[in-house]
């Protein structure tokens, strides 16, 4: 029972607004890294800048670890949120915080004890490139204190966005951006601290961002808390499985950078080629942060909808994400392609470096659209637990295809061939994904990969958008007819009808609209075996019916009568707030017999 006019604008609104916040957050962090590179190159010279760019594989390993913990917690906690299981969501989050704190300490110890081995991984030894080695060493010393804060931000950031804190998260990113630039400039032109000062500026900026973010968890109404209540050992394996695609992705990326660094050094180790490669890495990171912002949003939202088994919401979310990706990446691609020489000129006035860098940026511009599509598809698959398929795509996209194309093109065309490989590899990746989808499903149309029976049959679901008292009464009547048609008793049908009328009516009558939002709710009524479930999602001011009921259940009998009836007669009422929306889930088990009042 699908209403063709039922889909409101809540899902696109939730996705777009959250993705914009995540994109700006990514831009602030990576934009700071880009300006780091410009300031370092202009003030300290090509060798100092090349030293920092050659540390990318090492920082990639740090991101590998922190993102693995972060994504594992995101997927497991988001799916728990979608089921309304708050304690399990908090336990997954808390475990990841503890784990990442321990790992950050181990990384700092490794930096202190074995810096030469870390640099050797990046293709640099003290004997072969002593000046670059020295610059890498001093940058690492300054960068080290910020490692724990940077890694913890990867964990708490996405959680804060889900927990109605995207404004704070965005503000923290811009605090990092501003602080890093100011301290870089002071270091370069006032204190003359060299690469050590550049690394220390980044560390202090991460500390400031972290201190601002943790204020979120001091709020009384924060959904997420540091608590292991409800923790189960099975959650560890679930998080490890959920994190495996990200681990494979980051591992493949780190290996790719290590191998391509060596290919580039072998093909043409010149100051211009290495500096241009560094400019390519920095601009590449900024250009592709649009895809990462949308991808992280899609990952969390798809995990929530997957946990709720909302097939209609999943497909609508996926469609919205892909449309936004095409529009955004297409626009940025054109800007990057035609502005390549100007961007390269921001780093240096050396014509040889500009020539190399402008060429590489045009290659990245060509790669941007196919990369955005593949990144979103991979995040979506990860959110719905298609881990095996994601791992295959990750290793192909971040290692086998780019390294293979870099080796072949580098052999024939030198450094420019290596730079061009980014465009060729992304186009080859799209072809590879299309073949995988066809082999797996037998058709390019079956891209959602949802398991058979997911969310029930169409006839076992009602979807609607409720925006007026008339809509409330219409859906209340439909709920009763739906229940009777599915063999439920008259009493259970009346109860479900009343639940819809009271909960949806409360939203329409008392909901406080947020900026640019009307009072409306996405509504779903579904049947799964003996359980009937009502799901209501709105973008009004925060309202937790369970908490409100507990605070007022002893009030006079005539206060909040509708809510009291729902809370007493339903078998389970769950609430969670995510992405600026209230989400209420009401269950009635028809096999329990008479429901006690």
pLDDT at 109: 92
Give a yes or no: residue 567 inside a domain: yes
- Write out the two tokens for 42: 């202009």
Rounded average pLDDT over 559-581? 74
Name residue 464's beta-bridge partners: 523
CATH number for the domain including 531? Answer: 3.30.565.10
Q: 60 with 254: CB under 8 angstroms?
A: yes
Q: Is the pLDDT of residue 547 over 70?
A: no
On whether both 528 and 431 belong to a single domain, the answer is no
Radius of gyration of the chain (CA): 26
pLDDT at 539: 77
**Domain residues for 139?**
10-441
Name residue 538's beta-bridge partners: 521, 582
Greatest mean pLDDT among 31-35, 278-282, 537-541: 537-541
On whether both 197 and 79 belong to a single domain, the answer is yes
On whether both 423 and 492 belong to a single domain, the answer is no
Name residue 535's beta-bridge partners: 524, 585
How many domains does the structure of the chain reveal? 2
On whether both 466 and 391 belong to a single domain, the answer is no
Q: 347 with 38: CB under 8 angstroms?
A: yes
Q: Is the pLDDT of residue 411 over 90?
A: no
On whether both 482 and 423 belong to a single domain, the answer is no
Name residue 440's beta-bridge partners: none
pLDDT at 149: 92
Q: CA torsion 481→483→486→492, rounded to 10°?
A: -140
Q: Which of 410, 441, 472 finishes a domain?
A: 441
Q: Which of 409, 441, 473 finishes a domain?
A: 441
On whether both 384 and 429 belong to a single domain, the answer is yes
On whether both 363 and 488 belong to a single domain, the answer is no
Q: Is the pLDDT of residue 290 over 50?
A: yes
On whether both 393 and 494 belong to a single domain, the answer is no
On whether both 437 and 463 belong to a single domain, the answer is no
The burial of 558, by beta-carbon neighbours within 10 Å (0-12 exposed, 13-18 middle, 19 or more buried), is given as exposed
Q: Is the pLDDT of residue 287 over 90?
A: no
Q: Is the pLDDT of residue 456 over 60?
A: yes
On whether both 473 and 423 belong to a single domain, the answer is no
- The span from the CA of 316 to the CA of 333, in Å, is 26
pLDDT at 78: 76
Greatest mean pLDDT among 90-94, 383-387, 391-395, 470-474: 470-474
On whether both 51 and 187 belong to a single domain, the answer is yes
- Comparing 347-361, 399-413, 507-521, the range with the smallest average pLDDT is 507-521
pLDDT at 158: 78
Q: Which of 414, 441, 468 finishes a domain?
A: 441
Q: Is the pLDDT of residue 389 over 50?
A: yes
Give a yes or no: residue 312 inside a domain: yes
Q: Is the pLDDT of residue 204 over 90?
A: yes
Q: 390 with 378: CB under 8 angstroms?
A: yes
Q: 263 with 410: CB under 8 angstroms?
A: yes
pLDDT at 555: 59
- Comparing 70-84, 261-275, 345-359, the range with the smallest average pLDDT is 261-275
Summary mean pLDDT of the chain: 79
On whether both 221 and 246 belong to a single domain, the answer is yes
pLDDT at 32: 65
In the chain, the percentage of residues whose pLDDT exceeds 70 is 84
pLDDT at 210: 93
């Amino acid at each position: 029972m699908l209403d063709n006019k039922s889909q409101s604008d809540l899902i696109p609104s939730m996705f777009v607004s959250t993705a914009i916040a995540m994109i700006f957050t990514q831009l602030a962090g990576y934009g700071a890294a880009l300006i780091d590179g410009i300031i370092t190159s202009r003030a300290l010279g090509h060798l100092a800048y090349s030293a920092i760019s050659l540390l990318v594989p090492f920082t990639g390993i740090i991101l590998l670890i922190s993102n693995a913990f972060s994504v594992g917690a995101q997927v497991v906690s988001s799916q728990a949120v979608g089921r309304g299981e708050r304690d399990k969501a908090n336990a997954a989050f808390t475990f990841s915080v503890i784990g990442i704190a321990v790992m950050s300490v181990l990384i700092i110890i490794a930096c202190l004890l074995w810096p030469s081995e870390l640099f050797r991984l990046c293709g640099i030894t003290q004997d072969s490139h002593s000046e670059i080695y020295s610059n890498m060493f001093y940058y690492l010393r300054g960068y080290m204190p910020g490692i724990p804060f940077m890694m913890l931000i990867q964990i708490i950031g996405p959680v804060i966005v889900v927990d109605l804190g995207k404004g704070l998260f965005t503000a923290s990113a811009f605090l990092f951006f501003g602080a890093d630039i100011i301290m870089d400039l002071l270091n370069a032109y006032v204190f003359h601290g060299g690469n050590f000062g550049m690394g220390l500026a980044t560390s202090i900026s991460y500390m400031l961002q972290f201190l601002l973010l943790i204020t979120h968890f001091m709020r009384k109404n924060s959904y997420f808390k540091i608590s292991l209540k409800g923790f189960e050992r099975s959650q560890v394996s679930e998080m490890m499985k959920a994190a495996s695609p990200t681990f494979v992705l980051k591992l493949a990326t780190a290996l790719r950078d290590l191998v391509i660094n060596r290919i580039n050094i072998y093909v043409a180790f010149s100051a211009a080629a290495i500096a241009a490669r560094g400019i390519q890495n920095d601009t590449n990171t900024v250009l592709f942060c649009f895809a990462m912002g949308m991808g992280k949003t899609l990952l969390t939202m798809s995990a929530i909808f997957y946990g709720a088994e909302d097939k209609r919401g999943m497909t609508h979310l996926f469609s919205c994400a892909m449309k936004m990706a095409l529009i955004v990446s297409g626009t940025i691609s054109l800007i990057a392609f035609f502005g390549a020489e100007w961007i390269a000129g921001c780093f240096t006035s050396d014509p040889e470096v500009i020539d190399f860098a402008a060429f590489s940026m045009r290659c990245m511009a060509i790669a941007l659209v196919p990369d955005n599509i593949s990144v979103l598809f991979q995040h979506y698959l990860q959110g719905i637990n298609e881990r095996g398929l994601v791992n295959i795509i990750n290793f192909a996209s971040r290692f086998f295809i780019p390294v293979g194309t870099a080796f072949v093109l580098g052999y024939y065309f030198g450094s420019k061939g290596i730079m061009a490989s980014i465009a060729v590899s992304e186009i080859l990746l799209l072809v590879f994904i299309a073949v995988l989808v066809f082999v797996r499903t037998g058709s390019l149309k079956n891209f959602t990969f949802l398991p058979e029976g997911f969310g029930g049959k169409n006839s076992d679901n009602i979807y609607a958008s409720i925006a007026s008292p008339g809509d409330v009464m219409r859906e209340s009547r439909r709920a009763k007819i739906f229940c009777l048609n599915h063999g439920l008793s008259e009493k259970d049908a009346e109860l479900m009808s009343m639940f819809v009328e009271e909960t949806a009516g409360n939203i329409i009558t008392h909901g406080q609209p947020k900026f640019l939002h009307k009072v409306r709710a996405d509504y779903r009524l579904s049947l799964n075996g003996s359980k009937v479930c009502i799901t209501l999602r709105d973008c009004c001011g925060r309202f937790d019916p369970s908490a409100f009921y507990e605070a007022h259940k002893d009030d006079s009998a005539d206060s909040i009568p509708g809510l009291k009836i729902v809370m007493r007669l339903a078998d389970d009422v769950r609430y969670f707030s995510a992405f600026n929306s209230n989400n209420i889930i009401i269950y009635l088990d028809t096999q329990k017999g008479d429901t006690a009042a």
